[in-house]
Amino acid sequence: MCASMRITAASKNPPKLIHVAVGVLEDARGRVLIARRPEHVHQGGLWEFPGGKVSAGETVEQALRRELQEELAIAVQSAEPLIRIPHHYADKSVLLDVYKVTAFSGQPTGNEGQPVQWVHPMELDQYPFPAANRAILAALKLPDQMLITGSFASLDDALRNAERALQSGVRLLQLRCPELGEHDYAALARPLAALCQHYQAALVCNTSIAQWQQLQLGGLHLNGRQLSRCSERPVPDSVLLGASCHDAHSVEQANILGVDYLTLSPVEPTASHPDAEPLGWPRFAELVELARVPVYALGGMRPAHIAQARSVGAQGIAGIRFGWEAGSATSVNRR
């Protein structure tokens, strides 16, 4: 499953990208609109988010408005970037510029005879989509903040901190406790998974692949060393998989491995890694362009950075200090 072998891209010279503008419409009930592709076209019969090719001389926003008018008979009033995805099929390559449509007029309908349907994001897995749409599905399910567990005085203290964060609205929690042994990590992970389930939040475990396989709790987050050693995805597609990245090479490793999201760090100076050279926002933006999955900015992040991260195509931010109440000691006592 994982070894010290290096992953290499399947093709060093992919074909020219076909630039596509994609729109994600959401209704008042939180459902998103999908449409089924005609049987005779590329990826025919699969479901997709509406949109189409960006014509010469058009901006992505202009193409989005034109395509959604033609396909759905609606007028886009406002939209914001959601994710940008390059994807290489065997016979063609596409660059999906995905926008979340925040306001529109008209009643969406299959204006070209295509079936359309409103679906809750958590039910999208029931519909077959082209492979290039996988990252869009992940982006729709993931929040704009990931909380990483910080220090705590005891396991009870950790659970109290986590519940306060969940009560405040955190919906993605990474359990990272490198100081804990396997027994204590498991003792914390089990009740924490139950807490996350109660608050309808996702849990990812930053631990060894072997321990995750024993626990089978939530998703798995790979650290940089694990990522570099993996030759194939270590968990099923149904399990949320993330990875820690720091440079272009690790981003490409994450792309090939097929993770569902990644963190990029450190974006800004951080007290936890004072000797690490910060990426800075310009370099962070360049690395986001390389990623084919949602990206979280990590390192010196505060809630005020969410808008800046999203403005360069990231999903949002990750960190400890914006949502974790640290305990009074760093030692850990068993519950």
> Average pLDDT, whole number, for the chain?
89
Going by pLDDT thresholds of 50, 70 and 90, the confidence category of residue 162 is very high
Provide the CATH topology of domain 17-133.
Nucleoside Triphosphate Pyrophosphohydrolase (3.90.79)
Q: Is 32 helix (H, G, I), strand (E, B) or coil?
A: strand
Locate the domains of the chain by residue range.
17-133, 145-319
Whether pTM > 0.75 for this model: the answer is yes
The alpha carbon of residue 2 and the mean position of all alpha carbons in its chain are separated, in whole angstroms, by 22
β partners of residue 118 = 33
Four-residue CA torsion sign, 278, 282, 284, 287: negative
> In the prediction, which pLDDT does 14 show?
54
Would you say residue 3 has pLDDT above 60?
A: no
Would you say residue 319 has pLDDT above 80?
A: yes
> In the prediction, which pLDDT does 275 show?
76
What percent of the chain clears pLDDT 90, i.e. is strictly above it? 72
Q: 265-294, pLDDT tens digit by residue? A: 999 988 776 778 899 999 999 999 999 899
Class of domain 145-319: alpha beta
> In the prediction, which pLDDT does 86 show?
82
Q: 44-65, pLDDT tens digit by residue? A: 789 999 999 999 999 999 999 9
Q: What are phi and psi of 53, to 5 degrees?
A: -65, 145
Measured between its terminal Cα atoms, the distance across the chain in Å is 34
> What burial class does residue 71 get, using C-beta atoms within 10 Å of its C-beta: 0-12 exposed, 13-18 middle, 19+ buried?
buried
> In the prediction, which pLDDT does 12 show?
53
